[in-house]
Structure 1
Amino acid sequence: MALVELGRFNRNEAHILIGRLDSEGVVAIPFDGEASIGDGSYLFIAVRVLVDEDDLATAKAIVESAA
């Protein structure tokens, strides 16, 4: 399993997207969401959403269909 970046999203969008991907059977993992929680700027740092490289095309199609 090799993880690849699907995209960078604000904190709320990232978690909504992860839920949507999960409902479609695509495992997604958030990264960097807690990067600056200590100094209070965590809402300004984009969350990277990572998926298995084998699921990338499916995940991109799900993102595009939601736009």
Structure 2
Amino acid sequence: MSLAELGRFDRMEAHIIVGRLESEGIPAIAFDGETSIGDGSWLLIPVRVMVDEDDLAEARSIIAA
């Protein structure tokens, strides 16, 4: 299993996308979501949504719809 980056989103949108993909049977994970919470810059750092490389095309079509 090799992970591929689906995209970079604001923190809330990334977690919504992860939930949407998982509801369609595509495992997904949000990376960097907890980065810099201590200094308050977490709203400025994009969160990477990662999926299995084999699911990337399907995941892109789901979020495009």
TM-score for both structures, normalised by structure 1:
0.93
The answer to whether the aligner puts 1:14 opposite 2:14 as a matched pair is yes
Per the TM alignment, residue 44 of structure 1 is displaced from its structure 2 partner at its CA by 1.2
Distance 1:40 1:17 in 2: 23
Q: Which amino acid aligns with 1:55?
A: D
Cα deviations across residues 2-25 of structure 1 (Å, max 9, x unaligned)?
001000000110011111000000
The answer to whether the aligner puts 1:40 opposite 2:51 as a matched pair is no
Corresponding residue number in structure 2 for 1:52 = 52
Instruction: Name stretches of at least 5 consecutive residues in structure 1 with no aligned partner.
Output: none
Question: Matched residue of 2:25: which SS?
Answer: coil
Question: Matched residue of 1:43: which SS?
Answer: coil
Larger fraction in helix: 1
Instruction: Name stretches of at least 5 consecutive residues in structure 2 with no aligned partner.
Output: none
Distance 2:37 2:62 in 1: 29
Cα deviations across residues 6-62 of structure 1 (Å, max 9, x unaligned)?
000001100111110000000001001111111111111100000000000000000
Stretches of 4+ aligned residues off by more than 3 angstroms = none
How many correspondences in the alignment? Answer: 65
Identical pairs, percent: 68
TM-score for both structures, normalised by structure 2:
0.96
The answer to whether the aligner puts 1:3 opposite 2:3 as a matched pair is yes
